[in-house]
Structure 1
């Protein structure tokens, strides 16, 4: 039987701390949230491996982001204790559980109704009371609760939709992995008035979220 507490400790020490994650609030959140609760029973034994873990089939399939990249993205967002965060593509809810420990409130957006129901049930079971799970198309965000201090995109994107940019408040931050599916870079964007500027932060290669894949062009 897997000792999940030991596996979680090893994940923090061997995957997170050694990869320039120094924010103790982020580290404490990762050390507290039982990642195994957010993956299918058959995959709980690999929940803490340094790789993306499949949580649902589909087009595209859905994954928990690997711990190293996830932790660095959360740190990059510099989330404050009173911040309102939109978690785009929350999947089974793991990212929301972690974000809820460093933010004031989290709105968890999911397009898959089964995953959304699972996320809501698991978060409730873990007594996460400052997060709400909503459903909808991921690239559209959730304007009803905007503007957000932080938008956390939980997977790779080929571009950042204007609809999400507009849901940031002034000086709000958006973090994501921008790429083509072969390689990618974690990026931090900041909104200033009508300007939306970004900078590369570190190399990362994670899975695409539904609705964010590159659009294939026809060649005549």
Structure 2
């Protein structure tokens, strides 16, 4: 039988802390939240693997180190309203809910949304809402958001999502670069203008529905 508490400890100590993740609030959440509760039973034994984790239907949870560094970059505050694009099994939404004031978890698959909602309820998380819809459109009904996290590689950040970012809001996404390498980019809206910078390279699996169209021009 897998010792999940030990696996979680080694994830944090072996994958998270050595990779420049120093936000104590984030580290505390990753140390406490049971990742195995958000994946299919068949995947629970490898819930803490240092790679993207397949959860079915061609979808994945981000590698823990990449996920943690992305969340650290957007510096989620206790009063922030967050949009989690590509919520899948709900783990990312749950982590964000422990850090933020409220979270909207968006996924395009109704079965994954239902599973995520059940998993969040099982953890007693009440400040997160799960919705189903096209990922590339975001969720305008809840905008503007202080933080937007896109949970997978995309060719670009669609205008529809960028426009949902609040003033001084932060968005993090893995954008496919020109050399075929994924670039984790931090976007911020200041004075109505969205600018971005590259943080590090990573190559998570892609998200569905992000074909190049209506791109946001920076």
Shorter-chain TM-score bucket reads: over 0.9
- 1:85 and 2:82 are equivalent in the alignment: yes
Taking structure 1 as the reference length, the TM-score comes to: 0.93
Q: 2:159 aligns to what?
A: 162
Q: Note if contact 2:135-2:208 (Cα within 8 Å) is conserved in structure 1.
A: yes
Tell me what 2:142 maps to: 145
Displacement after TM superposition at 1:155 (Å): 0.7
User: Alpha carbons of 1:79 and 1:133: their partners in 2 closer, same or farther (altered >3 Å)?
Assistant: same
Contact 1:89 1:109 in 2 (8 A): yes
Deviation for aligned residue 1:49: 0.9
In structure 1, the residue matched to 2:216 is none
Q: Tell me what 2:182 maps to.
A: 184
Cα root mean square deviation, aligned: 1.3
Per the alignment, residue 18 of structure 1 pairs with 18
2:62 is the counterpart of 1:68? no
Query: Which of residues 201, 204, 214 in structure 2 aligns to 1:203?
Result: 201
Q: Which runs of 5+ in 1 are unaligned?
A: 216-220
Structure 1 distance, partners of 2:67, 2:29, is 12
Number of equivalent positions: 212
Which residue among 80, 89, 94 is the counterpart of 2:91?
94
Are positions 1:123 and 2:128 aligned together? no
Shift of 1:41: 1.1
Helix, strand or coil at the partner of 1:174: strand
The structural deviation recorded for 1:182 is 4.7
